[in-house]
């Protein structure tokens, strides 16, 4: 299946480093970051997994579960975890899905649905497209997707910033401008009339153009 923003995130049951997991049930009423890797014991992903472990408390504050996936069995993940802790100063403190049968990678449109075989004998280059980030909301809908090449480390500070934007705009009828950071001014969407905006934001707003109006952050 093709996944797009607004699609329902496919549900699945999988073995992880923290036991058997039923994905939608595990997400519960919170948010989720699913981030995938083409193979265990790969250099760039090693740095990412360690950094994500350090950043996990920030996601916890935002009621967001994080979960990794790699196209290898769980036993390999556990061995890799020792290398990650040794080199990055933190081991994964979140579940890592063992996707050695490529089932989740196919469900999430990262590998072709008709691809045959399993992870055995496959190289990172074979799985290069399994390198995505999915932000999933409490309604189990995909809110954002990011895909990176193997040679470029992902910016998980940006993923956190993007999550802040999505959570804020989900709670308020607002949008975030370029390079927005929490606490900065926001944009009133064109779907909100000036009259509605005056009611919503009695403190006032700034009109730069009829379609570009800014307002102080409500939070």
Catalytic machinery residues: 45
Instruction: Report DSSP letters for 38-95, one per residue.
Output: SSSS-HHHHHHHHHHHHHHHHHHHTTEEEEEEESS-HHHHHHHHHHHHHHHS----S-
Whole-number Å distance between alpha carbons of 186 and 215: 5
- Both tokens of 122, joined, read 């496959």
Rounded to the nearest 10°, the torsion over CA 77, 82, 88, 90 is: 90
What is each CA distance from 104 to 34, 111, 119, 130, 173, in whole angstroms? 11, 9, 12, 10, 34
Query: Under a CB-based contact definition with an 8 Å cutoff, are residues 45 and 70 in contact?
Result: yes
């Amino acid at each position: 299946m093709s996944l797009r923003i607004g699609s329902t995130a496919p549900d699945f049951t999988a073995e992880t480093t923290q036991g058997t997991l039923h994905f939608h049930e595990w997400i519960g009423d919170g948010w989720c970051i699913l981030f995938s890797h083409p193979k265990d014991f790969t250099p760039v992903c090693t740095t990412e997994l360690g950094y994500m472990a350090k950043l996990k408390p920030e996601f916890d504050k935002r009621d967001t579960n994080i979960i990794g996936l790699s196209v290898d069995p769980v036993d390999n993940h556990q061995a890799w975890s020792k290398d990650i802790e040794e080199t990055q100063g933190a081991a994964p403190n979140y579940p890592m899905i063992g996707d050695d049968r490529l089932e989740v990678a196919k469900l999430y449109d990262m590998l072709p649905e008709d691809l045959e075989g399993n992870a055995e004998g496959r190289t990172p280059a074979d799985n290069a497209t399994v390198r995505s980030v999915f932000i999933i909301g409490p309604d189990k809908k995909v809110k954002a997707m990011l895909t990176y090449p193997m040679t470029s480390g992902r910016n998980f500070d940006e993923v956190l910033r993007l999550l802040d934007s999505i959570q804020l705009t989900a709670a308020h009828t607002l949008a975030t401008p370029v390079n927005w950071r929490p606490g900065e001014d926001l944009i009133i969407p064109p779907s909100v009339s000036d009259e509605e905006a005056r009611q919503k934001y009695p403190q006032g707003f700034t009109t730069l153009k009829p379609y570009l109006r800014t307002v102080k952050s409500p939070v």
